[in-house]
Structure 1
Amino acid sequence: MTTWITICDTCKQDGWDTGEMTQTDGEALATLVEAAATGLNEVRTRRVSCLMGCKNACNVAIQSAGKLNYTLGTFTPSAEAAEGIVAYATAHANSDTGQVPYREWPQAVKGHFVTRHPPLPKE
């Protein structure tokens, strides 16, 4: 079953307005996550404008039908963060419930979990 990484592409970290930003922090993270997920069958990416987690920018959601879903945030747009997000999403995709044992979490996602959502009821 496919796990989706939903990336907020409008996220801006503190101080964004004082620099010469050509793209938002969310756009930068999205580009890195998309590159890290290239060629994977079990993980797909999509961008959205605003996950309403501005206090925790940069935000992503890890989602799949019938599984636990997660929101993660407070990432710095970096290759390490993107690779950790994709590695976690891959483990989520390979889990029957969406729950990934803590010992299997990539270091790059530890401390970044914001919320966990139970699967929606089937009816």
Structure 2
Amino acid sequence: MALKPSASGVAVVACNTCRHSAEVRDDADGKRGGARMVEALRQVAADDPAFASIAIEEMPCLFACQDFCTVHLRAPDKVGYVMGRFVPGEEAAQAILEYARAYADSDWGQVPFKQWPQGVKGHFITRTPPAGFVVE
């Protein structure tokens, strides 16, 4: 494994090796939940030009294995978020991308709770400060 360059703006980085759920790793076709989540995110983003500025990226293992189907939302100079426990599919992808759009419009990554799509509520695992900053 090695590092590779990624998007410089707002990005949703999905773990492509995540389990489908706490109980199930692969689906009936032998695909991991994370791989299905990547597919769903890319499909939803491709179908809606409102998400064109959000990069969909993937990598193996975000080390949040207990929380399955995890994504990391990040952007330069903004607080980042790791979210998980999603059912991989269009509904979750839509909610994640709607949140990412609000996040992109925020000053430093904080989205007011009233703007959160229902599909992300209860899915936050952690927030991460951007390099050189902490939240007051």
TM-score, structure 2 length as denominator?
0.83
Give the aligned residue type for 1:33: L
Question: Any conservation in 2 of the 1:2–1:41 contact (CA below 8 Å)?
Answer: no
The count of aligned residue pairs is 122
Name the CA distance, whole Å, in 1 between partners of 2:38 and 2:83: 13
1:1-123 to 2 correspondences below 5 Å: 2-12=9-19, 13-16=21-24, 20-38=28-46, 39=49, 40-121=51-132
Q: Relative to 1, partners in 2 of residues 1:85 and 1:18: Cα closer, same or farther, differing over 3 Å?
A: closer
**Cα displacement (A) at 1:21:** 4.0
Question: Any conservation in 1 of the 2:78–2:109 contact (CA below 8 Å)?
Answer: yes
Give the aligned residue type for 1:46: E
RMSD between aligned residues = 1.8
Q: Describe the superposition over 1:26-61 as per-residue Cα deviations: whole angstroms up to 9, x where unpaired.
A: 111110011112243321110100000000001000
Percent of residue pairs identical: 34
Name the CA distance, whole Å, in 1 between partners of 2:88 and 2:119: 12
**Cα displacement (A) at 1:96:** 1.3
After TM superposition, where is structure 1 displaced by more than 6 Å over at least 4 residues in a row?
Answer: none
Gapped runs of 5+ residues in structure 2? 1-7
Segment drifting more, 1-10 vs 99-108: 1-10
Give the aligned residue type for 2:107: D
TM-score, structure 1 length as denominator?
0.91
